[in-house]
A and B are shown apart, each in its own frame.
Chain A
Amino acid sequence: MSKTFSIGGIHPNDSKISANAAIEDFPVMDMAYISVSQHLGAPAEPVVAKGDKVKTGQLVAKASGFISANIHSSVSGTVSSIELLPDIFGNMVKHIVVKVEGDEWLETIDRSPDIIRETKLSSKEIIDKIAECGVVGLGGAAFPTHIKLSPPPGKKAEYLLVNGAECEPYLTSDYRIMVETPEQILIGVELMMRALGVDKAYFGIEENKPEAIKVMKKLTSASYGSIKIVPLKKRYPQGGEKQLIDAILKRQVPSMGLPIDVGVVVQNVGTALAVYEAVQKNKPLFEGIVTVTGKCMTEQRNFKLRVGANMNNVMFAIGGFPKDAVKLISGGPMMGKAVSRMEAASVKSTSAFLLLTEDETKRGEEGNCIRCAKCVDSCPMGLEPYLLNRLSRAGRLDDLEANMVHDCIECGSCMYSCPANIPLLDTIRLAKAQVIKIIRSRPKK
């Protein structure tokens, strides 16, 4: 029997309609809008000024503060301005705007297709290289990878878990790289294992990607023996860190804890590829694989997209904004963000642009809770969404905390399942933010 996590979960139609579209290079745009806040943590500090010439891959903003990441130019050209622009999440963020002239890469970047398997670098050197190249987690949260690979003192990683679950419907970017560049991913995994000082990695892939499982199993049985491929039963939200650890190792991360508390570090397959490119090819993270998909589109695409391409560029490349689409989502349909402005530009962690029609995404009219407990059954954290919703609307923060609202991973399973169309996650998210703020404000014991 294939493994899966122990509590809750749902089975939405996986809609991987772009799975067979091979990765293609996205045409270089005229202007690049590069946000200095593409990661979790402090925004990077620009190190270029208006009028400066930049090359593709050149550092344009430097990490500032402990949790932060370097930003590199995704194009070559002239910095035309540094200004506040709406980012893909709707926030006003400082962007470095580059007028594109040609496509001249830094000479230090190895652009050959050769696979480089060997490394002599030490753990610290690998982590430094990853930090220098601005690699962040590509599973969604964009947490700087070099920090995740440096456990705090007293904590030791036993295993590295690689997340190839790609449990969100529609998304196929992880699938494409697993099929097209499997060995590079495995080398990236080995580099991260070396950085962490662990000798075993588990690589979870959901069973709806048999081709990826086959390719990876073949490679690991031939030469990457310390990495074990673990097929997982298709179930959402398997790609959630806590769920993946539970599925593969049967260990449960404690409330408000981190994977390292159970001796695990989780990294996404996309991150593994970025680590490979950073360490072995000297290539900073300035482009990534982005699925552009939707049932309203005739053609499904997987692009290699530079950071800083705005929505107008992307829509132009697919032949215009589809007529029937009403919603443009950055990411998957369960946890992705609805894009509010066409001027918003892609970032490092962009995994997909999904276009949904009104029929597909319309929220039904809210009815009375019939206490069917579908939300309780679907919650992967064992919470009671119906109760949290009620408490949130009543503003009862202490009861919300007693009922562990801060454990919510915002996967949306409750709201997906609710037959009465109650916007459970909207109200729970609101309460969670307040409760976490209160918990963090308490003096530490």
Chain B
Amino acid sequence: MKKLLVSPAPHLHGKESTRSLMRDVIIALSPSLLVSVYFFGFSAIKLAFVGVIACVLVEYAIQKYIIKSKVLISDYSAALTGLLLALNLPPNSPWWIVFIGSVVAIGVAKMSFGGLGQNVFNPALVGRVFLLVSFPVIMTDWTIPTSWFREGIDASTGATALSIVKEGLSKGLTMDQIFAEHNFSYAQMLFSKIGGSVGEVSALALLLGLGYLLIRRVIRPHIPLSIIGTIVVFSGIFWLIDPSHNPDPLFTILTGGILIGSIFMATDYVTSPMSTKGMVIYGAGIGIITVLIRNFGAYPEGISFAILIMNATVPLLNNYFKPGKFGKEVKHG
């Protein structure tokens, strides 16, 4: 007599798993990682390696020895956090700073909230902002390390384009003067020789990652588009009012981590809204806060803070912006 397996429908399951989704995001980050290895050589590899290992180890230790739950490091989520954290640090960061950031990211921002899926704030960003506030000198030292494979990048790149502009503007220079003085060009920003954190050297590599995430349907385009769209419109208004003292929208989105933030940080499943309407509002909020911080705040960038602030609104957005229900209104056509 054959023993029959009985369970309720559905009897099939899609191919996606938490693990495959996390793996896809890691794959989407790999062009950026490769570009940064090309530019920064060993230090990029070192940061990524320490970040991944540290996050996985911290999660393992907490699950195994502190809360004594199942060890879930094989879902790649800790590895992804480590990689994201590393890619958001200056390329010359010492290894121990990545380690401290990892402990904060996994230990404080993720596990203390209950682990995967329970955290309110993006762990990698919490780690990064913790480091930014605690070690401001290291975290804004954009000196370019000498690469294995190639000569160091032009000596002028000791600061990010954004901080150069911010500083120049505060000295009373106009945008044109700053651009001329530092030889900025948009092509440069796309492929990048300009200082910045490890992962944002090339806008093109980040956009490649976005393309992969969209094709694989890992994320939907609503969050990145609404962030970038809002920033273009909002910074465009400032630019139109006074083009000589405000960066133009294209410069704005190509610098200061807007792309890596809107593609990889703001789209983190756990800390972003569930409905389309919620996603668009969340993205617009990030865009507005980013431009406000850049134009009126002390920090040259701002998207990290903007994302963390909007993370806090996600439960509210989920509560008030529900997906459109079927059959609410009867259409006759």
Listed in ascending order, the chain A residues whose CB lies under 8 Å from chain B are 6-7, 10, 12, 90, 169, 242, 246, 249-255, 257, 261-262, 321, 326-329, 333-342, 354, 356, 358, 360-361, 363-364, 367-374, 376-377, 379-384, 386, 404, 407, 410, 412, 415-421, 425-426, 429
Enumerate chain A residues within 8 angstroms of B115, measured Cβ to Cβ: 368
Enumerate chain B residues within 8 angstroms of A261, measured Cβ to Cβ: 330
Enumerate chain B residues within 8 angstroms of A255, measured Cβ to Cβ: 325, 327-328
Given known A-B contacts A367-B72, A407-B326, A326 and B13 have beta carbons under 8 A apart: no
Q: Is the CB of A415 within 8 A of B275?
A: no
Enumerate chain A residues within 8 angstroms of B329, measured Cβ to Cβ: 252
- Is B118 on the interface with A (CB-CB < 8 A)? yes
Q: A336 contacts which of B3, B5, B11, B323 (Cβ < 8 Å)?
A: B11
With A242-B326, A326-B4 given, name 17 new contacts (CB 8 A): A7-B326, A252-B330, A336-B11, A337-B9, A341-B4, A342-B2, A361-B12, A369-B117, A384-B274, A407-B325, A407-B326, A407-B327, A416-B10, A416-B13, A425-B9, A426-B8, A429-B8
Identify the closest chain B residue to A360 (Cβ): B12
A253 CA / B328 CA spacing, docked (Å):
8
Enumerate chain A residues within 8 angstroms of B17, measured Cβ to Cβ: 364, 419-421
Q: Is the CB of B117 within 8 A of A416?
A: no
Q: Is the CB of A412 within 8 A of B10?
A: yes
Q: Is the CB of B9 within 8 A of A252?
A: no
Given known A-B contacts A340-B4, A367-B18, A419-B18, A376 and B13 have beta carbons under 8 A apart: no
- Is B322 on the interface with A (CB-CB < 8 A)? yes
- Is B75 on the interface with A (CB-CB < 8 A)? yes
Q: Is the CB of B9 within 8 A of A335?
A: yes
Q: How many A-B residue pairs have CB under 8 A?
A: 170
Q: Is the interface of B mostly helix, strand, loop or mixed?
A: loop
Q: Is the CB of B13 within 8 A of A421?
A: yes
Q: B11 contacts which of A334, A369, A404 (Cβ < 8 Å)?
A: A334
Q: Is the CB of A334 within 8 A of B12?
A: yes
Given known A-B contacts A338-B5, A380-B326, A416-B10, A371 and B269 have beta carbons under 8 A apart: yes
Q: Is the CB of A262 within 8 A of B330?
A: yes
Number of residues on chain B facing chain A (CB within 8 A): 45
- Is B270 on the interface with A (CB-CB < 8 A)? yes
Given known A-B contacts A250-B333, A336-B11, A421-B17, A342 and B1 have beta carbons under 8 A apart: yes
Given known A-B contacts A370-B270, A371-B270, A321 and B325 have beta carbons under 8 A apart: no
Enumerate chain B residues within 8 angstroms of A341, measured Cβ to Cβ: 4
22 A-B pairs (CB sep. < 8 Å): A169-B12, A242-B326, A251-B331, A252-B330, A254-B328, A333-B10, A336-B11, A338-B9, A342-B2, A354-B11, A356-B11, A363-B7, A364-B13, A368-B118, A370-B18, A370-B117, A376-B275, A381-B327, A382-B323, A416-B10, A416-B12, A416-B14
- Shortest beta-carbon contacts, A-B, top 5: A412-B10, A368-B117, A382-B325, A373-B274, A372-B269
Q: Is the CB of A251 within 8 A of B330?
A: yes
Enumerate chain B residues within 8 angstroms of A360, measured Cβ to Cβ: 12
A364 CA / B13 CA spacing, docked (Å):
9
Enumerate chain A residues within 8 angstroms of B118, measured Cβ to Cβ: 368
Q: Is the CB of A381 within 8 A of B8?
A: no
Listed in ascending order, the chain B residues whose CB lies under 8 Å from chain A are 1-14, 16-18, 20-21, 72, 75, 77, 115-118, 220, 269-270, 272-275, 322-333
Q: Is the CB of A381 within 8 A of B325?
A: yes
Identify the closest chain B residue to A263 (Cβ): B332
Q: Is the CB of A326 within 8 A of B5?
A: yes
Q: Is the CB of B11 within 8 A of A371?
A: no
Enumerate chain B residues within 8 angstroms of A384, measured Cβ to Cβ: 274-275, 322-323
Q: Is the CB of B6 within 8 A of A340?
A: yes
Enumerate chain B residues within 8 angstroms of A380, measured Cβ to Cβ: 326
CB distance from A357 to the nearest CB of B (A): 10
Enumerate chain B residues within 8 angstroms of A367, measured Cβ to Cβ: 18, 72, 75, 116
Q: Is the CB of B12 within 8 A of A382?
A: no
Identify the closest chain A residue to B332 (Cβ): A251
Enumerate chain A residues within 8 angstroms of B274, measured Cβ to Cβ: 371, 373, 376, 384, 386
A339 CA / B16 CA spacing, docked (Å):
27
CB distance from B73 to the nearest CB of A (A): 13
Given known A-B contacts A334-B11, A338-B11, A425-B9, A370 and B322 have beta carbons under 8 A apart: no
Q: Is the CB of B5 within 8 A of A327?
A: yes
Q: A419 contacts which of B6, B20, B328 (Cβ < 8 Å)?
A: B20
Q: Is the CB of B1 within 8 A of A338?
A: no
CB distance from B45 to the nearest CB of A (A): 28
Q: Is the CB of A425 within 8 A of B270?
A: no
Q: Is the CB of B8 within 8 A of A425?
A: yes
Enumerate chain A residues within 8 angstroms of B1, measured Cβ to Cβ: 342
A339 CA / B8 CA spacing, docked (Å):
10
A329 CA / B11 CA spacing, docked (Å):
9
Q: Is the CB of B6 within 8 A of A420?
A: no
Given known A-B contacts A339-B4, A363-B13, A370-B116, A404 and B331 have beta carbons under 8 A apart: no
CB distance from B124 to the nearest CB of A (A): 15
Q: A361 contacts which of B11, B270, B272 (Cβ < 8 Å)?
A: B11
Identify the closest chain A residue to B274 (Cβ): A373
Q: Is the CB of A334 within 8 A of B10?
A: yes
Enumerate chain B residues within 8 angstroms of A336, measured Cβ to Cβ: 9, 11
Enumerate chain A residues within 8 angstroms of B273, measured Cβ to Cβ: 373
Identify the closest chain A residue to B20 (Cβ): A419
CB distance from A14 to the nearest CB of B (A): 11
Enumerate chain B residues within 8 angstroms of A374, measured Cβ to Cβ: 16
Enumerate chain B residues within 8 angstroms of A415, measured Cβ to Cβ: 10, 13
A304 CA / B163 CA spacing, docked (Å):
76
Q: Is the CB of B326 within 8 A of A252?
A: yes
Enumerate chain B residues within 8 angstroms of A417, measured Cβ to Cβ: 14, 16
Q: A327 contacts which of B4, B269, B330 (Cβ < 8 Å)?
A: B4
Enumerate chain B residues within 8 angstroms of A338, measured Cβ to Cβ: 4-9, 11
Identify the closest chain B residue to A380 (Cβ): B326
Enumerate chain B residues within 8 angstroms of A377, measured Cβ to Cβ: 220
Enumerate chain B residues within 8 angstroms of A12, measured Cβ to Cβ: 12, 14
CB distance from A158 to the nearest CB of B (A): 10
